[in-house]
Amino acid sequence: MRRASRLVARALLSGGRQDSAAGLTAAPDAVPGALCHSVARHLMSGTLSQRPHSAAEAALSSNEQLGGAPPWDAPPTAPAAAQPVPGEHSGSSPHTSAPATVHAGEANGAGPKAAKGPHSQPGQQRLARQPRHSSSPRKQTPRLQQAQAGDQEQQQHQHRQRWPQQQRQHRQWQQPQKARPGSEPTHAPAAKKLWSLPRSKPENNPVAWQRHLVFGLLHNIETCREVLQLLQDHAARRQLSARELTVACSRMGKVFTALYKESGTMGGNADNNTTHCAGVFDIVAKNLSVLDTQGLATSIWMAARFHYMPPQEQRTAWETAVWERREEMSLIEISNVFFSLGVLHWDPRVEVMEALLDRALERQRELTPWMVCNMMWGCARLTSFHPGPKRMVQMLEALLPQLDAFKPESFCAMLFSLACLRCRPDDAALTALLDALEWRLKEANNRQLVTMVWALGALQLGELVTERLWSGIDARLLMQEEQLNFSSAPFYFFGAARLQMAPSGELLQMLLSKAVALRSELRTGDVSVILWGLAKLGHVSGEGPVSKRFVQTMIERFMEHDVEAPATLRQLSSFLWSLALLAHPPPQKVLDRCISAADSQATQSQGGLSSTDASMLLSAFETFGSAEGLALLQRHIIGTGEDEVSADVDLTDELRPDVQL
């Protein structure tokens, strides 16, 4: 029936005409004529109109037909004249008399058709019945149930998110109550700690205590003082494990490093200084028996971050623990140990260093450039240990096949280590190294560039350094003018003088101006190397970029720092020799003071003057025409031949840059 009504309605809307014999000829489907007449008659009388499911739909349909309608929850009321009389015709059938109420929506043709009996009065206005909300509930399909469950879960999640905020607002709304007179406490409340220890005893629940310490170190600590306090609280109650000590040392070093990068002061402040590192290392030294290899390497790494040198007893105990566990240490732990020892200038026993280095070289194919450079750099910073030619060859064999993976810091550490250890590889290896370096120049910073220039000069690789590499270094330094520090000029001038490769005019002027601007930070060794490099490059005072005022400023700075830290004999001899070549005689007062200091140091030295020092002093005194200086040379032995050294190689000992990988 519904399908037929739809077909008829479609035909009527499409403008089809009614045919009693053949039905609706304009409809898309053929319908019997009798059925069409019946359907049309019922449509005209309104008995086939669809019944709404609720009063809301009825109101909506009336709103569409008659205009505005009241809200769905307040159906329209009937006029006063049409109000039913209470108690009259109550319970009567539809055929007896006019009904007092009608179904919702019937007035506008949307509800069911009320039967019109013979007693019904025509034209009587019918009243709208109050909605009874008797519509059947919506069918619960699986998809609908799932959607309702998702909505409920989302509401619960939003409530859980709002709950902490509501609690905070509730605490803010609460006004603190004023204490009654005479009820004030007689003592101040104790300061609340940032953490509270577990309630259980350590022996009853050791896992909870360990978890509390590790979690507190990783998440509730912001200063080195807090690390030390938390570690002391736990160490006073129980035996700490290797993991806890390792996490404490690691956290200590990372916190100090982060704060140092922000402030730029190595000394730190009241909450972050070497005292806290000493306290943590003291706890570690008392628990060396439980430490594993990772803990041993991390503890000395922490000390290197603070530049803290432990007492001799603790150093001996640490070396003994490393010697006992030398066969268990991994490659990364060995490389970190070498790096940390180099930072602290901590010279352990030779057998310990040899054992660690041999264990690392046994797994030569697994070594990365970072590991090898750390080990080489650490060996170069130590004074009492040299790896030897065989181990140096093995480390180079591990490095050269991985040149493509090198970074600027790797090139810098490798060249610096080779120069300090006086190890010069063959030309083929050096050529491959310099070619790979040329491709990485754009990533190097100013500290790495000047250190590489210094190392190239110390190794005397002038015949292998190409013009393209040298111009690339100069161009890169010019781009980093703001990053140059007080050590940039002495490092660069030393390397350039040994290579006999002059810098560009713009770079030379920039280095000289930077040296004058930072003259308060220059030491006696820095001043002597700057003047020595300019003299070796053929400059003369008062000609070109090297002015007399610049040389005089360097002389004044040399004498100022000599009062704080007396210059060595090599620094005095190179200082006077450079002034002679620069054609800038020092004031007589300065010359007399230098002669007196050289005489005193030569007298205290067991071997006397070396041939290099004596030759430089002789050249300077002859240029200046100093009789006292020549008398000095006559009083001391010159050139015994036993301590014969090359002309300038010892100057490398005065310039060992602190390269931090």
Q: What are 623-632's pLDDT values in tens digits?
A: 999 999 998 8
Query: Mean of the pLDDT values across residues 15-42?
Result: 48
Q: Between these two residues, 222 and 492, which has the higher pLDDT value?
A: 492
How far apart are the C-alpha atoms of 638 and 647, rounded to whole Å?
15
Tens digits of per-residue pLDDT, 348-358? 999 999 999 99
For residue 129, what pLDDT band results from cuts at 50, 70 and 90?
Answer: low
Q: How high is the pLDDT of residue 229?
A: 86
Percentage of the chain exceeding pLDDT 70: 65
Q: Give the DSSP per-residue string, 571-618.
A: HHHHHHHHHHHTT-PPPHHHHHHHHHHHHHHHHHSSS---HHHHHHHH
Residue reference for tokens 């001799």: 312
Please give the average per-residue pLDDT across 410-436, as a whole number.
94
Which residues have C-beta within 8 Å of that of residue 462, sequence separation ≥ 6?
Answer: 498, 499, 500, 501
**DSSP code for 522:** -
CB 243 within 8 A of CB 214: yes
- Residue 36 has what pLDDT? 52
36-40, 152-156, 398-402, 509-513: range with lowest mean pLDDT: 36-40
Q: Which of 454, 519, 512 is nearest to 657 (CA)?
A: 454
Compute CA 114 distance to the chain's CA centroid, rounded to the nearest angstrom: 82
Which of 187-196, 536-545, 578-587 is predicted with the least confidence, judged by mean pLDDT?
187-196
Q: Which of 19-33, 196-210, 329-343, 570-584 has the lowest mean pLDDT?
A: 19-33
Task: Give the pLDDT confidence of 360-398 residue by residue, as tens digits.
Answer: 999 999 999 999 999 999 999 999 999 999 999 999 999
The pLDDT of residue 385 is 92
pLDDT interval class at 249 (50, 70, 90): very high
* Average pLDDT of the chain, as a whole number: 77
- Give the pLDDT of residue 140: 64
Calculate the dihedral angle through the C-alpha atoms of 624, 625, 628, 630, rounding to the nearest 10 degrees: 100
Which has more pLDDT, 254 or 469? 469
Q: Distance between CA atoms of 577 and 597, rounded to whole angstroms?
A: 15
pLDDT of residue 162: 63
pLDDT, one tens digit per residue, over 262-304 is 665 555 677 778 899 999 999 999 999 999 999 999 999 999 9
For residue 217, the model assigns a pLDDT of: 76
492 phi/psi in degrees, rounded to 5? -70, -45
Q: Note the pLDDT of residue 548.
A: 95
Question: Of residues 659 and 597, which shows the higher confidence score?
Answer: 597
pLDDT higher than threshold 50 for residue 191 = no
Residue 303 one-letter amino acid: A
Write out pLDDT tens, residues 571-623. 999 999 999 999 999 999 999 999 999 999 888 877 678 888 999 999 999 99
pLDDT score, position 526: 95
